Chains A and B, each alone.
Chain A
Amino acid sequence: MARGDKEKLKAERFLGLLKPIERELEVYGRRLTFHSEDALDAIQNAVLRAYRAFDRYHEDASFRAWMFRILTNEIFALNRKRGRIAKFEVAVDMENWQAIVERAHSEEYPYTAASMEDFSKILDEDLIKALEALNEVEKSVLLMKAVGGLRYREIAESLEIPLGSVMGYLFRARQKMRNALLRSQRRLEG
């Protein structure tokens, strides 16, 4: 096969996998960058980088997870360049994760069905503020789950962190969001 034909097939195959997840990648990129204009640069760079490395991509791996990984690295690098440094907290192993969950579900655990009965009342602005309270990695894990629909294992591969840490970050991210939302809900009621 001629070199040109081979290249064309590669591009077609790559675009065939990319197109269905373009919207998710863009939404993820815009939410994870500190300045939404940066998202466009990060997306362009990530796609070109992924295409150059596409020969090394194996079909048995998730293309979605692979693309999210490349885009995340690109955004973290860009955020670092802008003086915002990604802070990976201490990795949470499975045992710690169990301890966190058990503590959270102890009697003092603050949320009850009654206090959280109507989430539709929560304003989008409150959600944006709550999201800003998360650190870069918590935000990334939460967005990979919510926007990309990635499984825990895929998120662990994307961020190169243990599975237990994914659960820990996700749990903490949701906890922080929940607390921030509860506070704003109480403010509205009070």
Chain B
Amino acid sequence: MNCLEARKRMQLYLDSELEAETSFEIEKHLETCSECAAMFKSEQGFHQRVSGFLSKGERTPSLWESVESKLMPGRFRVGLKSIWPVAAAVLVVFLAVLWFQPKTETMELAAAAEESHRAYVHRVIGPDFDGPVPEKTARALEGKLDTAAFYCQPSAAGFVSRGKRVCHIDDVPAAVILGHCEGVPVSVMVFERNALERFPKTKRYVGSGESVVCSRAGSYQLAVRIVGKHLVCVIADLSRRRVEELALSVNDRT
């Protein structure tokens, strides 16, 4: 085996992907060629350093205990079997409440915004940048969302921005300003105004003439408002009045 043939197979050799016979031929060549031997040694050092670093890390016992506990059979079945009369009664009461409560329609945007805000509250997502919109982000959003959306943030006292990011709320791109007010996390989601076409129920409410529309979004309060070319949505675990104030303080930056 010559130098070129040996070097061509260097990665496969170091990854133990070669047949024994070929590996043996390489080893024979390395015994006689100091240049190749040095190169193989160097590459092996590189592999070891990278692999050693990448594979560093501990197992988190609490994570795996929680995962494993979800797999234990019978946990739910036994529970349900023994409490089925109670479960049936709860179901009857629940259906009765549904029947008698006034029929209201929730905005579909509320559920999507809630999911995103919950991810922020639980620190699953966080800001990606602060200050001007990075060029790469602006290029990726070209034709879908203008960069002015990232500057539509509440000017009300008490609101502090922590940074910004792009999110796709029900596949619609939104500039998201993540901040807090009175120590409570606040998400401000800014869409192109035409995003309303994707949220027909929201469109109906917003088009009703109210300057700001409020709704519950799970455990959060949501306020939606049209600001110039944008649809602004503020969501937080604050009072309806406070969230409404935040939404009303967003200025048109277009």
Contact = CB atoms under 8 A, between A and B. Distances in A.
Interface string B117-150: 0000001111000000000000000000000000
A101 B74 CA distance: 55
Nearest to A178: B46
B42 A116 contact: yes
A124 B243 CA distance: 44
A65 interface: no
A145 to B, nearest CB: 7
| Size bracket of the B interface | 35 or more
B233 to A, nearest CB: 17
Given A35-B126, A44-B66, A101 B8 contact: yes
A171 B58 CA distance: 27
A113 interface: yes
A35 B71 contact: no
Interface in A82-103: 82-83, 98, 101-102
Interface string B82-122: 00000000000000000000000000000000000000000
Interface of B: 4, 7-8, 10-12, 15, 17, 35, 38-39, 41-43, 45-51, 53-60, 63-64, 66-68, 70-74, 77, 123-126, 165-168, 173
Given A124-B53, A170-B11, 4 more contacts: A11-B71, A30-B57, A35-B124, A142-B50
30 contacts: A23-B57, A27-B55, A27-B57, A37-B123, A43-B67, A47-B71, A48-B70, A81-B168, A82-B125, A82-B167, A83-B165, A83-B168, A102-B8, A105-B4, A105-B8, A113-B38, A113-B42, A116-B45, A117-B42, A119-B45, A120-B49, A124-B53, A142-B54, A145-B15, A147-B51, A147-B55, A167-B11, A170-B15, A174-B47, A178-B46
Interface of A: 4, 7-8, 10-11, 14-15, 18, 22-24, 26-27, 30-31, 35, 37-38, 40-41, 43-44, 47-48, 51, 81-83, 98, 101-102, 105, 111-113, 116-120, 122, 124, 127, 131, 142-143, 145-147, 151-152, 167, 170-171, 174, 177-178, 181
